[in-house]
Amino acid sequence: MSDPRPGAVLRGAVDLSALRSRAAAPASPTGHAPASGSPSLVFDVTDATFGQVLELSRTVPVVVDLWAEWCGPCKQLSPVLEKVVTELDGRLVLAKVDVDANPQLAQGFRAQSIPMVVALVAGQPVPLFTGAVPEEQVREVFGQLLQLAAQQGVTGVVPRGEGGEADASASEPDEPALPPLHQEAFDAIEAGDYARAVTAYEAALAENPRDDQARAGLGQVRLLDRVQHLDLEEARAAAAAAPRDVDAQFAVADLDLAGGHVDDAFERLLDLFAELPADERAPVRERLLELFGLVGDADARVIRARGRLASLLF
């Protein structure tokens, strides 16, 4: 059975498998990386200290900023990330990775371009965006990240001491009360009942169409609901046997996106869109737009796919 995690669908995918074996052994802190149990809100991380950051992400979401000294956009984005993380009062921490000095981390995060911003939640990577994005978008994405972390039970905070440093340990606070429909969705996700979570988020949006957290959660759980009972090999075989079967192609595209193969999902649906008669294309376009929303409008893969879709429409 395919078992995609919610963290894989927010903003694409990365592969940290090459670094997990290193993370299993205790790392010696160097530079400004946090010693175990005493993180600051903003700190440097290296190839050697990545294991500590993975462990920290089981308590509090960790935002990872991949940057380099020569990168102009990095210098524009980093202060924005630090500002927003600081304002969130320890609900997130920011780990900064100099890709030139830490090639293994750069490779593990598949940093083909920088700045690249990724999160870690309970040890799982959650790609967020690439490029220097506006502060408003950073706040929106971090809000979605906090919701996703809450769905996975990662709700710790890092208390701030003097000078912005953390106290001796990350603590588990009393969880803030969620709106009733959000709580219902959270409980349903915890139980693996994605259909009930969809219903709860839809009800929340009916009450408040501007509820961005409900909108983000709805997109994620709809995808998880669709793929939870699919078998990847069976789905691929069915799609290969019927290349113009819309439902068969949808199933593989959903599985690809949930597994982090974003370009594969987009290309499959764009190829299908190109093959179908004009009067049969609408469902494919709607599914593409839904998946674009999950990955993020600023993502380079979405921008490329939107460009191709536009060329096929006109």
DSSP string, 43-78: EE--TTTHHHHHHHTTTS-EEEEEE-TT-HHHHHHH
Contact predicate 197/204, CB 8 Å: no
β-sheet bridge partners, residue 120:
62, 125
Residue position matching structure tokens 């299993």: 24
DSSP string, 197-219: HHHHHHHHHHH-TT-HHHHHHHH
Which one is catalytic: 16, 27, 41, 71?
A: 71
Which one is catalytic: 45, 56, 74, 148?
A: 74
Return the percent helix, strand and coil in the chain, to nearest 5: 55, 10, 35
- Cis before 127 (ω within 30): no
Paired sense of beta strands 62-67 and 116-121, if any: antiparallel
Q: Is 74 a catalytic residue?
A: yes
Q: Is 224 a catalytic residue?
A: no
Residue 303: half-sphere exposure toward Cβ, Cα within 13 Å: 6
The one-character DSSP state at 38 is B
Paired sense of beta strands 93-98 and 42-44, if any: parallel
Instruction: Quote the CA–CA distance of 169 and 158 in Å, as a whole number.
Output: 7
Q: Mind telling me the catalytic residues? A: 71, 74
